[in-house]
Structure 1
């Protein structure tokens, strides 16, 4: 198995934004889109086979199942 690839300059979402900023963003999004759930999806840092996602933040309708969501991000 090849060694895990590190992506220079890419920090996890939690390290890029403080808790207070994340909570503020979620409150604004929930007020603007009450029927949607903000979701952050990131690749595991040691993952070597999956490609990087174009974006990490998604607004997901409440009625969307996990299977449907997985097909969207793939």
Structure 2
């Protein structure tokens, strides 16, 4: 596939996985793999989980963006969960 054809068929995908950390890592890895194929990703996480994810590799930073979403406190869960 030519570069111009790839650019016209690329997607921007918003990923909002279940907020349990065990669900976030596989979705982030999938996002990075697909970003290497030319797609853009906005990955949604709580501030606490985003801090634990680690940095996006520099070569993917233009295609994978982590956005934090503050959620209201829920009784019985730690703050920021």
TM range (shorter): under 0.3
Which structure features the higher share of strand residues? 2
Per the normalisation by structure 2, the TM-score is 0.24
Per the normalisation by structure 1, the TM-score is 0.26
